[in-house]
Amino acid sequence: MVCLWLRFSWSLPVRLVPALLACASLPAAAQTLPVDLSFTGDVRIAGADGERAWTDGGFGKTRFGGDRDGDFRIRPRLTEGELIWQPRFGWSTKAVIAVAAQDGQQHAVDLVEAFVAVKPMQSADTRISGRVGLFWPPVSLEHEGAAWQVADMITPSAINSWIGEEVKVVGAEGTISRTFGEHRLSATLGLFGFNDTSGTLLSFRGWAMHDFKTTAFGREKLPTLPETMEYAQAAYTRPTAEIDNRPGFYAKLAWQPPAPVSLEAFYYDNRGDPQAVTSNLLWGWRTRFVDIGARAQLGPATTLTAQALTGTTRMGPDEGQGIWIDTRFRSAFLRLSHKFGPTTFSTRFDLFGTDESGSEMEGESGESGWAATGAGSWQMFDHARLLVELLHVDSRREGRLRDALDPRQSQTIVQTALRLSL
């Protein structure tokens, strides 16, 4: 019998893992089922020009930047190694526990995901599933698999880069899917915590495009802060932080009509208290957004994918002149992929922007930008894929003036990656 009990005690995410595994009360025979242990790694040669990367505390929009003068620089990199354990507990329950070593993360090895997934009921018409633990909400139309990698490209869109860096939760999620004639409708509801700082990077740095994935215990650098916030906000953010002990929620609706098209809508509200703050100056942010996505199969080998997201994030007290920071953000992309046997070619175009206001963001006017990406992916054999990608980003952000930079910056990055899976 599978136990579906969950108690929300806002403690460190890792404490959920043994509790969740112990929650499955199963026959002894189930413990002899095979355990799925896998590894995925990424070895890369990356060349980039332009400003300092955001991972180094700059305003750069990509994972890697140019040299000190902004000139083109090529470097080999061991980008990521991820170990994924997926033990099964009977026919309806499994766990996913992933740890990673990524280039640029704070700790040498850190927890990426840890959750228990349950599918207690399956029939031709109705499917029910759920999961509990540390995971990304089901927003991205680009990521796939237990390693949460972008299919056939290296870099996700601006939308899903942000989801990967700032929208990871500890929570419980349930989904029910039912067929009505030739239509299938699905509804998902999630309740979560440990995502109170979501919006920090988006406000102080703006959008970015990269494949770095936030970890359970790591922190991420912020660029140079406005003078008014220098001693009020930490120089870093922790995306998986619980500050106000108020659970957030999200909801998703998906529709599969009798056509090669799927549509979905997603709403997120972390219900963060914008006046809550820790002793080390990590603030709560009230972040809400709506995401709409679509995927169309234009032919047996051609797929068109689109997403659009818009939302707000707010932080700080209101001292009579408005809340400290009030940021409105938006982004959208269109991606086209075509398969030629073991090879897939993809192209994507992104638009993104923010509008910033608030009593402590004087002189800030947000940002606007666009990006174009082209990529090729070749499945060399079962356990190895070769990817080549060209990404160009052009953006304008007044905050760069704090680092004596031109507000308008463009950057180009070329990457070749060998993605191994064992």
Per residue in 240-252, pLDDT (tens digit) is 999 999 999 999 9
pTM: 0.91
Judged by average pLDDT, the poorest of 36-40, 64-68, 127-131, 295-299 is 64-68
Q: What is the pLDDT of residues 107-129, one digit of tens each?
A: 999 999 999 999 987 788 899 99
Residue 379: inside a domain, yes or no? Answer: no
Mean pLDDT of the chain: 90
Judged by average pLDDT, the poorest of 199-213, 259-273, 309-323 is 309-323
Residue 370: inside a domain, yes or no? Answer: no
Q: Say if residue 8's pLDDT is above 50.
A: no
Residue 126: inside a domain, yes or no? Answer: yes
Query: What pLDDT does residue 358 have?
Result: 87
HEC sequence for the chain: CECCCCCCCCCCHHHHHHHHHHCECCCHHHHHCCEEEEEEEEEEEEEECCCCCHHHCCCCCECCCCCCCCCCEEEEEEEEEEEEEEEECCCCEEEEEEEEEECCCCCCCEEEEEEEEEEEEECCCEEEEEEEEEECCCCCCCEECCCCEECCCCCCCHHHHHHHHHCCEEEEEEEEEEEECCEEEEEEEEEEECCCCCCHHHHHCCCCECCCCCCCCCCEECCCCCHHHCCCCCCEECCCCCCCCCCEEEEEEEEECCCCEEEEEEEEECCCCCCCECCCCCECCEEEEEEEEEEEEEECCEEEEEEEEEEEEEEEEECCCCEEEEEEEEEEEEEEEEEECCEEEEEEEEEEEEEEECCCCCCCCCEEEEEEEEEEEEEEECCEEEEEEEEEEEEEEHHHHHHCCCCEEEEEEEEEEEEEEC
* Core vs surface per residue 57-81: b (16+ CB within 10 A) or e: bbbbbbbbbbeeebeebeeebebbb
Residue 259: inside a domain, yes or no? Answer: yes
Q: How many domains does the chain have?
A: 1
Query: What pLDDT does residue 140 have?
Result: 97
Residue 185: inside a domain, yes or no? Answer: yes
| Mean pLDDT, rounded, for 311-318 | 95
Residue 352: inside a domain, yes or no? Answer: no
Query: What pLDDT does residue 322 have?
Result: 84
Query: What pLDDT does residue 18 have?
Result: 42
Residue 397: inside a domain, yes or no? Answer: no
Query: What pLDDT does residue 132 have?
Result: 98
Band of pLDDT at residue 29, cut at 50, 70 and 90: very low
Band of pLDDT at residue 221, cut at 50, 70 and 90: very high
Burial class (CB in 10 A: 0-12, 13-18, 19+), 406: exposed
Band of pLDDT at residue 69, cut at 50, 70 and 90: confident
Residue 374: inside a domain, yes or no? Answer: no
| Mean pLDDT, rounded, for 213-238 | 94
For tokens 């400003």, name the residue. 51
Q: Say if residue 34's pLDDT is above 90.
A: no
Domain, as residue range, for 114: 13-301
Query: What pLDDT does residue 122 have?
Result: 79
29 CA to centre of own chain: 37
| Mean pLDDT, rounded, for 186-197 | 98
Query: What pLDDT does residue 363 have?
Result: 65
